[in-house]
Structure 1
Amino acid sequence: MTLEPVHIKEISRIVSNIDVSNEDDKESEMTSDLLGYLQELKYRGRVILKSMEKLYRGKVNIEQMSRSSDPFEITYACDSGSTNPITFDSGLFVDFCHCALASTPTDLDLHMKRTIVAAAYNPSENVTIKTTDGWQEFDEGSGRKNIIRIQPGILNKRIGRMVHDIALYLAESEHMNWMLDGLDDNGILIMDGPIYPKRLMYWMVVESEDIQVQYDPHTKTILQNYIDIMDEHVKQQKPLIGFVKNPEDIQIIQALKQNGVWGIPWAMDAQFFKNLLSLKGHDDDENKYITYTNWFIQPNKFYEKMLNTTSPLVEDTLEHEYPADDYSLTFFMVYVPWMDVIFKIESPYGITKNEELRDNIKRKVLYDISINGIPRTLSKADSIAKIRKSEREQIKEQFNTLKIDTSYNDVRWSETDV
């Protein structure tokens, strides 16, 4: 044991001092006062957030919501598992991503369909990496696999992270596109995480000598895949949402500060919304309820810009069927008191401008959360697609001619170290 009782005692004293300095009442008042800014919020002269309807904070009784009916006959969810980037002494980076769709009611044939992508990167053009020539089937056509090489020399920083993103987004977007025609028109599709590959898109528009993913053909394939997914759902008016479990946005907080609002105690938008939706001090039993916001739209982001010919992103290479505004990101926030977590629910404007669909999506999310916390179908997809630690070790052992690049931290802080 590294901490003796005397150390724990002193840390407790420090904690009590920090806790005393937290003025909850003032934070609660500030949060309510800031709600009005969200009607139309500007940052550096541009609208970055608008309410799609009347501003409000709603709440539903969990028990009553769980006894209501699911507004959709069938639910689909997409998720993927990953080995996480594997690095070798030779300079090679590899990540395997394995994607699956789940459904409720269960469809075993759908669950059997899998897509596997192995993304490899080495900075040198003199190093040969064997790739597959397009998609190859396995398991009697139930699976597809692809080995891709990311363009040499385009990554000098965050290499593992970018290799992972390309493998992940290619696997997920390809799998969803592969499955789309077979999905029931009366269903809803839930994506694990945002509806767009945000981090990849960010690095495609930022000028950097260290991360130049815009020059890799696979990134453009990924973006086109996501546009195709949006086009199909807008065309058929079939609901599609991204269930974001850990929202990381900071744009609202930045905009509030830029608009002269001082003393904001939060660094993340999620912290602001959690305080906005908290019933603490206002209800005897806050755990009986789920609270949520109205729908918002975030215009003027690169989701629309990527479709304009003036975009530095891909210039004129993405095909799309609808006006750029239809690809704008819309969302609402949900706070689950008994878990003390906030979720962001995303969908493209081409779907949520339909008020009936917008309301059904919200009712669906609240229903699923009241039943299971995380939507049950999303939990199914996670269970199907997950690559477990023992399986990751088996995959690593297959590279018998290569040596894993390890550091002291890998030895000291292993995955089993608690």
Structure 2
Amino acid sequence: MTDLGAYAALEGMFNELDHAVSEFEEEPRITAEEALSYFGLPGGFIEPLLPDDEEFGVIHEPTADVYEWDDPWSVSYGIDGSTTRSLQFSNGLLAGASVAKLGVSGDSEHAELANRATTTLVAHLNEDEFSLGDIDDSEFDTPEGIEAHVFQFPQCERTSRLEEYVVGVSRTYAEGRHAYEVANEIDGPLFIDGPIYPNPAFGWMLFEQVGEGPRRMTEIWPEMVSDILQNYVNTVETMHHRDLPLVGITKTSGSAVALDALETKIDDADVDVSVPLPWTNDHQLFDDALFTMEDKHGDRGSIISYTPWLRQTKQTVRGHPVVPFETFDVNLEHGDASEYQRVFFYARTPMTDNVMRIEVPYLLVKDAERRDQIQRKVLVELSQQQKEPRAITHADEMARITRVDRNKLRQIIGSVRAIEDYNEKRGFRDMEG
């Protein structure tokens, strides 16, 4: 409990902040919903996918009505993964392991796919003599339907990002490989917990494409970055072949890609709106725009709010416009890189106040009717769950590596002493995302 005197000081400062904010809110300024209407302006590398005679704006639907919408796909699937986070040892060994699973929602003829898993272990020890050799799952007893992949992280100069690299490779390889493995066997939409192209691998590629920024990972292990992204691209292409949706659901993000694009559009046009806009990231902007005072207990019952689709044609990285995948070592089977760019919309669930970015590859939704089908499917799922689709929830439950699991795995490495940081000992790292 906070010291009473200290809390009194905090309370006083927050009261002053509330007073200042109240005065600011009384001043006339553009609302978030009004700001969204400027997505129809040219520029910014983000464009609305709407008929020419329609304006970009927020849509509010009673969840009771959404429940009654036709669902083109009665069965859906979800991919999620879990990691041990980084495991450190006294001799310099650093390791990270992950599990990826498929969740199934609905009466599926392929329910047994949920029993499969893809597991990974990535280990790093900066010593010439250390080698994992050619370990594969034939070296140990792996249950049927479980894939095991062991990787040795290359030797490299010391970097503060090494833990991020080891764990990031472990998680994204497992999830992408598992998605690709099951894509040929499912018969409904595949939801991914997160973006359709995963971070941090997607960011590693972008920095390499522009030749600036943190490029250590693409210098240390370029083939692994390519392999990770190739798994996701292959999944996109497989789902396209099978005429099934692939949908990424991002619940939290500090990205300001849409906000930056909106400010660019406003700045380039002759409109009476000052930039920068007051919001600090996309989540803030869309949370504000999608909120309605009647979303929970209005005359029409609870309301789910969402935007039309937006298409991103390029990314801006360190001031340079770049088309993801265009100049990177990933094979694209369909057309050029523009076909693989992301199309997205935002939605807000009323009872849980969740704001989510929903994205799909443009290749899968070039047809307006198909976009409408997928949007309706997603909104039905969100209205029912008030959070991510049920298939993702099931995948998360089955893939989760608990703290007990992590400690048991750490103790298997008995030849050297394990090192836990202070926050992990206190359990703080179990509260991380």
Normalising TM by the smaller chain, what interval?
Answer: 0.7 to 0.9
User: In the superposition, relative to structure 1, how do residues 256 and 325 fare at CA in structure 2: closer, same or farther (>3 Å)?
Assistant: closer
Kindly provide the amino acid, as one letter, of the partner of residue 336 in structure 1: T
Kindly provide the amino acid, as one letter, of the partner of residue 96 in structure 1: A
Residue 88 of structure 1 is matched in structure 2 by 89
Count of aligned positions = 405
Cα shift readout 1:128-156 (whole Å, capped 9, x = no counterpart)? 33552488796553111011112221662
1:395 counterpart = 2:398:
no
| 2:350 aligned residue (337, 340, 349) | 337
Identity score, percent: 21
Residue 164 of structure 1 is matched in structure 2 by 167
Distance 2:310 2:430 in 1: 42
| 2:216 aligned residue (211, 214, 222) | 211
Quick check: 22-31 or 53-62, which moved more?
A: 22-31
Distance 1:203 1:27 in 2: 42
| 2:256 aligned residue (250, 254, 257) | 250
- How far did 1:380 drift? 0.6
Kindly provide the amino acid, as one letter, of the partner of residue 213 in structure 1: T
| 2:122 aligned residue (119, 129, 133) | 119
SS of equivalent residue, structure 1 residue 241: strand
- How far did 1:108 drift? 4.1
Distance 2:430 2:331 in 1: 45
User: What RMSD in Å do the two structures reach over aligned CA positions?
Assistant: 2.9
User: In the superposition, relative to structure 1, how do residues 50 and 124 fare at CA in structure 2: closer, same or farther (>3 Å)?
Assistant: farther
Kindly provide the amino acid, as one letter, of the partner of residue 63 in structure 1: A
1:6-405 residue pairs with structure 2 within 5 A? 6-22=5-21, 23-24=24-25, 29-40=30-41, 42=43, 47-53=44-50, 54=54, 55-105=56-106, 107-133=110-136, 139-153=142-156, 156-184=159-187, 187-206=188-207, 207=212, 211-216=216-221, 217-258=223-264, 259-260=266-267, 261-262=274-275, 264-280=277-293, 285=298, 288-301=302-315, 305-308=323-326, 311=327, 313-314=328-329, 318-374=331-387, 375-405=389-419
Distance 2:20 2:249 in 1: 34
- How far did 1:372 drift? 1.2
Residue 4 of structure 1 is matched in structure 2 by 3
SS of equivalent residue, structure 1 residue 182: coil
User: In the superposition, relative to structure 1, how do residues 263 and 139 fare at CA in structure 2: closer, same or farther (>3 Å)?
Assistant: closer
Distance 2:349 2:196 in 1: 21
Contact 2:39 2:262 (C-alpha < 8 Å) held by counterparts: no
User: In the superposition, relative to structure 1, how do residues 408 and 386 fare at CA in structure 2: closer, same or farther (>3 Å)?
Assistant: closer
Quick check: 61-70 or 205-214, which moved more?
A: 205-214
Contact 2:77 2:105 (C-alpha < 8 Å) held by counterparts: yes
Cα shift readout 1:318-369 (whole Å, capped 9, x = no counterpart)? 2423332210111000012322221000000011212222111111111111
Kindly provide the amino acid, as one letter, of the partner of residue 290 in structure 1: I
User: In the superposition, relative to structure 1, how do residues 135 and 180 fare at CA in structure 2: closer, same or farther (>3 Å)?
Assistant: farther
Distance 1:14 1:147 in 2: 53
- How far did 1:48 drift? 1.9
Kindly provide the amino acid, as one letter, of the partner of residue 224 in structure 1: Q
Distance 2:118 2:322 in 1: 28
- How far did 1:209 drift? 7.2
Distance 2:396 2:281 in 1: 26
Gaps of 5+ in 2: 268-273
Residue 270 of structure 2 is matched in structure 1 by none
Kindly provide the amino acid, as one letter, of the partner of residue 89 in structure 1: S
Contact 1:233 1:240 (C-alpha < 8 Å) held by counterparts: yes
Cα shift readout 1:245-266 (whole Å, capped 9, x = no counterpart)? 1133212333444554335221
- How far did 1:104 drift? 1.5
- How far did 1:122 drift? 2.8
Distance 1:136 1:358 in 2: 46
Cα shift readout 1:187-237 (whole Å, capped 9, x = no counterpart)? 111001000024222223424577233542222111111111111122332
SS of equivalent residue, structure 2 residue 415: coil
Distance 2:301 2:13 in 1: 30
Contact 1:154 1:213 (C-alpha < 8 Å) held by counterparts: no
- How far did 1:13 drift? 2.1
Kindly provide the amino acid, as one letter, of the partner of residue 226 in structure 1: Y
Distance 1:95 1:255 in 2: 36
TM-score by length of 2: 0.85
SS of equivalent residue, structure 1 residue 156: coil
- How far did 1:411 drift? 4.3
User: In the superposition, relative to structure 1, how do residues 230 and 322 fare at CA in structure 2: closer, same or farther (>3 Å)?
Assistant: farther
